[in-house]
Structures are given as C-alpha cells and as structure tokens.
Amino acid sequence: MPDTMTTFAIPHFGLARQYKRLGNELLHATHEVLSSGCLVGGTFALDFEKWLKNRIGCEYVTTVHSGTQALEFIAEYSFDVGDTEDEIPTIRIPNLTYPATLNAFLKTGWEVEIVDTDANGILTEDPDNDHQFNRYDCLVGLYGAVPDDLPLFKPTIVDGAQHWLLADQDEIGEGMAISFDPTKNLNASGNGGAIATDSKELYDFVIAHKNNGKPDHFSPGTNSRMSELDCAHLLVRSKYIDEWQTRRKQIRQYYLKQFEYMPFKCLSRPFLYHTDQKFVIYTDQRDDLYRYLRSMSIEVRIHYPYTLGELPIAAHLERPTLLSTSVMLSRGVLSLPIYPELTDGEVEYIAAEVKNFFEEKTTLTHK
C-alpha cells in the first residue's frame, strides 16, 4: 500500500495549490456564510442547485450529503417503483468501479449482477433483454469517460460521479448521482453530492427523504444535506470549472501525444468526450512503474487494484471470473496526475519519466 505520509514534489491532487489561488475568495465566502447565521438550507444551497440544474439542463436538482448517498437515494426510490411481489428488480453494475456503486444497491435490496467491462472499463451490453421493466443498467463513466447513448427501452441509473460535467439531459437516465468529493474536478471543501433527474416523483422522494421524511412523514428518512459553507465554496469554484476543464484536456492531449508509440494503453484515448477526471494507463509492468515514478517524487495512484467481484460482500453474487477483461484490467491500471494546477514543466517531467522507465526496460532487455 502507498505510504500516505510521503511528501511528493508532484502530488497526485492539487488541492493545496488550488487554495493558494482561490484562498481569498474561499475565505470571503466562508465569512459570508458564518456571518449570516444560516449554515444549512439557505441561499447558497439554492443558488448552487440552480447553477447545477442549468449546467446539466435537467428539470430537477437537489443536493445531498455525498455522491454515495445520492446513488443510495436513487436506488431506494427505483427499487420501490420496480419491486413487485413476484420479482425484485435487478441491476447490472460494471465490475471495475469504486465499491460505493455496489454498496448502494446491496443496501437497498436489489438483485445485483456484477458484469464484465470492455477493455476501457465500460459496462458491456446486456445480451439477455433490453425490454424488461425490472432489469436495470447502472452506467458508470469510469475515470471520466462519457458512456455511449443510454440503452433503449431499458431503465437506467447513472453513477455520474466521474463524468457528470459532460452529461446533459439525455444522459442522466432515471436519475444521475453526482459527487463533489475533494478528489473530483469540481470539489467541495468536505462532503457533497447531488441528484439530477427529470422525474418529479424521484425529486419529491429525495426532498422528503433527505430531511427525515418532512413535511408529511409518510416514510422514514434521514439527514442528508450539504452545508451552506460547502455550497458557497462550490459556487466560487464553479466560476473556474470551464478553465480547469480546458487545462485538464490540454494535459491529456500532451500525454497522449507523448505516449503515442509507447508499449502501454491510455484508457482515455478511444473517447471523443472525456472529463479527464483521471488519466489512466494500462501496462503489465504497472507495479514496477508505480514504484519508479514515486521514487522520482511523482505521486501516482491505482484506481482500482481489485474489482467489485473480488470483494467479500460480492461472494454470493453472479460475477465475472478472475480471467475476465475487468479483472485483468485492474491488475495493470495506473493513474497519473492531471489536475489543472500542474505546470507545463511538471507535465513534461511526468511524461518524460514514464517514457524513461520503458526505454530503460527496453535497453536492459536487448543487452
């Protein structure tokens, strides 16, 4: 496991650098919130929800405590709608993603099928049936890849935590879960999530459920709201998100050009639309490259070293074999830094050291 106490010249995330640029604005927003005396459920939350709704172009948006809870609420609502006495609804989930996706549906009682992915980590098509009302797909934009068009005639739930910035009204399914985790492109200063939907029924369910069932208390709820402070900080950062996305795209394009003839795969290469939440390569020399780059003070990460089907909570589920595409993919994926605060020199240094690793390997092999 990585040594989390290690200090790198090039860290994997640029939050400290972001604060150097936005510190005065964030502190001013903090003062505005704290001096108002309204810390939850005020104007900053309403303004941010309005910004988010306009950004996606959907009918309804509401913020919740986290992206994980956003997906849990969609799962709970859709389960209640789809559940019948004869058949519990089934959800197909890609094998390569963060465990929160699986947890949301297991906690709600769904029948879960963990499904293999293609070579880019995207859910494969359902060979059985696209017309069953109680058979859903959960689409995940892994690493920021925007999935293909939603399957026709089939209910779909979208885990948009990594790709929502490029999603529009036609790509949110019955509901899309959004995350503002500090590691995401548009980050809160703590926890944060949202649900985007065109369904008034889902929206009404979440509005009541996230506030302990108020106002009618027809069903039990919970407490799941974003703070005014986080919403205020997100409004500050939202002013820069397009600039940041442009910079991320520039870094991706530079990496792709530099790695064009290298003996590994760049997982973002096949996609026309990508939010560049991560820049991930696949190589059968992943572990050696991981150690080498970290020794050169470049903090790289592995997203994700194990698939969902290998977790103990999935032992009873239908899942791909250890020889599946998704399992093999998990053994070789490595994430390079791609945040907008990287300097040109740092991006060039990262690419050069990746290339240097493989060139040295080639030289040793031919000696």
- Tens digits of residue pLDDT in 103-117: 999 999 999 999 999
Band the pLDDT of 1: cuts 50, 70, 90: very low
Q: Name residue 74's beta-bridge partners.
A: none
> Is the Cβ–Cβ distance between 44 and 228 less than 8 Å?
yes
- With tokens 């990508």, the residue in question is 274
**Which among 88, 192, 187 is positioned nearest to 132, based on CA atoms?**
88
- Tens digits of residue pLDDT in 232-272: 999 999 999 999 999 999 999 999 999 999 999 999 999 98
> Is the Cβ–Cβ distance between 255 and 247 less than 8 Å?
no
Does residue 324 surpass a pLDDT of 80? yes
Q: What is the side-by-side order of every strand in the sheet holding 193-197?
A: 60-64, 193-197, 175-179, 156-159, 135-140, 90-94, 111-115
β-pair type (135-140, 111-115)? unpaired
Please give the pLDDT value at position 161: 96
Which residue type does 68 have? T
Name the phi and psi angles at 26, rounded to 5: -65, -40
Token pair for residue 223?
Answer: 């407490």
- Tens digits of residue pLDDT in 66-117: 999 999 999 999 988 755 556 789 999 999 999 999 999 999 999 999 999 9
Please give the pLDDT value at position 326: 97
Domains and CATH numbers, the chain: 16-238 (3.40.640.10), 241-365 (3.90.1150.10)
Does residue 2 surpass a pLDDT of 90? no
Q: What is the largest CA-CA distance in the chain?
A: 76
Please give the pLDDT value at position 80: 81
Helix (H) / strand (E) element for 158: namely: strand 156-159
